[in-house]
Structure 1
Amino acid sequence: MIRLAIFDCDGTLVDSQHNICRAVEEAFDGARLVPPPRPAIRNIVGLSLVEAMRILLPGADNAQHQALADDYKAAFFRLRSTGAMAEEPLYDGMIDTLETLRANGWALGVATGKSDRGLAHVLTHHGIIDWFMTLQTADRHPSKPHPSMIETAMADAGALAADTVMIGDTSFDMAMARAAGTRAIGVAWGYHPADELIAAGADVIVADVAGLAHAVEAP
């Protein structure tokens, strides 16, 4: 039996809100649009970029949403390549949690709205990319909450839905887990409040990283 723990990245493994907000603001500035307030930007973290832009600018057409998504990617790459971005730190205690799960026989995966390049950069920077046997990103899947990322991760690992848990900080993660038929663990240190996670289908909310491994192991 393969037990699979799938993690969201932004707001779950790493705190990336500063960089995401700044890249959105630059994309809107470049299009001569008023940037959304930061709480609104944090609320779309986890979605694929075009879907995020649809929510942030609902009156625009598909072409403008795509253009803003492209501008976001260009801004993010430019800010990173010039050293203007802060590093995306792992949340305190996350290394210990991942090591505990691996030692207890869990296979690890990631399902994220990041691109392949962005996810690889973060995991490589923290020296943990080889700890994950399956990496699913927005480059190859519909936006969350579509279950495609989880379904592909389970196929990669050879895991059943009953033996898989999705761990995330947004309602999109919880709804994705429900759509895939897996357990859903919400984390309280990310970007959506606990009541939204519960409403979207979280089985449990974990208050801090120290309690996460126990929640994953719980039946």
Structure 2
Amino acid sequence: MYLVIFDCDGTLVDSQETILHGLEVGFAAVNLPMPDRRTALSIVGLSLEQAFARLAGPDNAHLAGAMSDAYRACKISRRAAGLDHDPLYPGTREALDRLAAKDDVLVGVATGKARRGVDHMVEVHGLHGRFVTVQTADTSPSKPHPDMIFRALSETGAEKTRTVMIGDTSYDMEMARAAGVYAIGVTWGYHDAAQLAAAGAHAVIGHFDELDGALSRLPGFDSLFETNLFGETV
């Protein structure tokens, strides 16, 4: 059995604008100036408190809790109003469909989002039943701590040698390496190819169309994408 774990923000969904809005609310709540866009988005992937503490700096790190509370309240309010419907990245649904069609593949999520954020994503995009394990910031330390992956392995019974983490940040790659599983970086999110490679990515892809090929080149994963006599992937 293979386990393929996806990050959410920056990997499955494009949440840049809604994250920036939430960060602005958090900074405004404690009367601190908002960082520039690039700096603000560099922390995507970390748990909320750790992200705000890093952005606020050492002198204001004690305000991270209040900033996080404001961010969460904003998110809950906007979702209740039918807002914050972050779009899937191109190819996301098709990639999930291809993996779901394989009897020997389990698909999971490991994200710095709260569980309610993942549930919202699943509901908005009709991804019910796609993820057999969902690991979030509610129950695990922030990435790059490997706890999320360890929990996913425990829940599914998958082996490390048949598990891969797919994400867009160095935190995802470092988490995978710390857990002893494979890591595939994607460049359409928040960290570039050089950062992903430096953090230990076994492969880096620029579009979901490249995922099957990247997976098939991982040791032990080649049987996932065997072809039949007609050259079709099975």
Q: For this structure pair, what is the TM-score category when the shorter chain's length is used for normalisation?
A: over 0.9
Q: Look up the match of 1:80.
A: 79
- TM-score w.r.t. the length of structure 2 is 0.89
Range with greater deviation from structure 2 (54-63 or 133-142):
54-63
Partners of 1:82 and 1:132 in 2: CA distance = 26
SS at match of 2:98: helix
Is 2:87 the counterpart of 1:89?
yes
SS at match of 1:202: coil
The alpha-carbon deviation at position 62 of structure 1 amounts to 5.0
Partners of 1:103 and 1:66 in 2: CA distance = 42
Q: Is the 8 A contact 1:14 1:89 kept in 2?
A: yes
The alpha-carbon deviation at position 164 of structure 1 amounts to 0.1
The alpha-carbon deviation at position 38 of structure 1 amounts to 1.4
Is 2:142 the counterpart of 1:143?
yes
Is 2:211 the counterpart of 1:212?
yes
Partners of 1:199 and 1:138 in 2: CA distance = 25
The alpha-carbon deviation at position 61 of structure 1 amounts to 5.0
1:28-79: per-residue Cα shift (whole Å, max 9, x none)? 1121111111111211011001110111011335541111111111122223
Structure 2 runs not aligned, ≥5 long: 219-234
- TM-score w.r.t. the length of structure 1 is 0.95
Partners of 1:98 and 1:123 in 2: CA distance = 12
Matches within 5 A, 1:33-182: 33-60=32-59, 63-83=62-82, 85-104=83-102, 105-182=104-181
Aligned residues: 217
Hey, which bits of structure 1, 4+ residues long, moved more than 4 A? none
Structure 1 runs not aligned, ≥5 long: none
SS at match of 2:154: helix
The alpha-carbon deviation at position 189 of structure 1 amounts to 0.7
Q: Report the residue type matching 2:146 in the other structure.
A: P
Range with greater deviation from structure 2 (162-171 or 35-44):
35-44
Q: Look up the match of 2:197.
A: 198
Identify the structure with bigger relative contact order (alpha carbons < 8 Å, sequence gap 6+): 1
Q: Is the 8 A contact 1:6 1:108 kept in 2?
A: yes
Partners of 1:180 and 1:129 in 2: CA distance = 27
Q: Report the residue type matching 2:106 in the other structure.
A: A
- Aligned-residue identity in percent: 46
Partners of 2:39 and 2:11 in 1: CA distance = 18
Partners of 1:15 and 1:138 in 2: CA distance = 19
